[in-house]
Amino acid sequence: MADNHNHHEHVDETVAERSDWARRRREGIPTNENLLVVACMDERIPVEEVLGLELGDAQIYRNAGGKVTDDVIRSAALTTNFFDTDEIIVVNHTDCGMMSAPDDAVREGLEAQAGDLSDIDLDPSLPELTIGDADVIDWVKMTDDIDEACAAQVEYLRQSDLIPEEVTVSGYVYEVESGELRVPGDRIAGEISERQT
């Protein structure tokens, strides 16, 4: 019996699907999971792999330390209010470079590069946005404890007036040593390697 299926039908379907995928913003098609991920830019974090994501599932915003900065709030506000995103996940990690240098060394290094930091433009398209009277370390956001830092990033997002209350915000710490995620404060290794009294 002859197969009545023509190959061009499969090709047409594939082309249409790809066209929709490429034009998803214009067509109002959300990410597959309606998800924004805020993660550290560290190259050791396989964000998609550890969260079980594929291309098209989520918007992924990476910066130094996975910190909730003004631009993260800007991006999160736009995607949650206009692109159907209803979940945000923060991924911080152990052995983060944001924990590796003393505050004074960071301050001195940036001042050696740029001079007086109070007049530095933070956003080249918005020169009036400067550090002003704030300490450059507050802007850089160095970290002492990654679990506390992760929990704080989650709270910054939850408390932002620009992000709808119904958006779910979660945070995880990626352990570079084990390649696994954990909830902030849930340091299993310490618990199972120390005698309980």
In a domain, 63, yes or no: yes
Q: pLDDT tens across 25-63, in order?
A: 666 666 678 999 999 999 999 999 999 999 889 999 999
Tokens standing for residue 153: 């990033």
In a domain, 6, yes or no: no
Q: Give the Cα separation of 77 and 85 in Å (integer).
A: 10
In a domain, 106, yes or no: no
Q: Is the pLDDT of residue 192 over 60?
A: no
Q: pLDDT tens across 94-150, in order?
A: 999 888 888 888 888 988 998 887 777 778 888 888 777 878 888 888 888 999 999
Task: Give the residue from 152, 195, 192, 157 showing the smallest Cα distance to 173.
Answer: 152
Q: Is 88 exposed, middle or buried (0-12, 13-18, 19+ CB in 10 A)?
A: buried
Task: Give the residue from 43, 15, 79, 118 showing the smallest Cα distance to 71.
Answer: 79
What is the pLDDT of the chain when averaged over all its residues?
85
Q: pLDDT tens across 60-75, in order?
A: 999 999 999 999 999 9
Domain extent for 97: 30-101+142-184
In a domain, 58, yes or no: yes
In a domain, 155, yes or no: yes
In a domain, 12, yes or no: no
Q: Give the Cα separation of 197 and 194 in Å (integer).
A: 9
pTM of the prediction?
Answer: 0.80
Give me the pLDDT at residue 29, please: 64
Tally of structural domains, the chain = 1
In a domain, 7, yes or no: no
For the chain, what is the HEC assignment? CCCCCCHHHHHHHHHHHHHHHHCHHHHCCCCCCCEEEEEECCCCCCHHHHHCCCCCCEEEEEECCCCCCHHHHHHHHHHHHHCCCCEEEEEEECCCHHHCCCHHHHHHHHHHHHCCHHHCECCCCCCCCECCCCCHHHHHCCCCCHHHHHHHHHHHHHHCCCCCCCCEEEEEEEECCCCEEECCCCCHHHHHHCCCC
Give me the pLDDT at residue 99, please: 84
CATH number, domain containing residue 87: 3.40.1050.10
In a domain, 124, yes or no: no
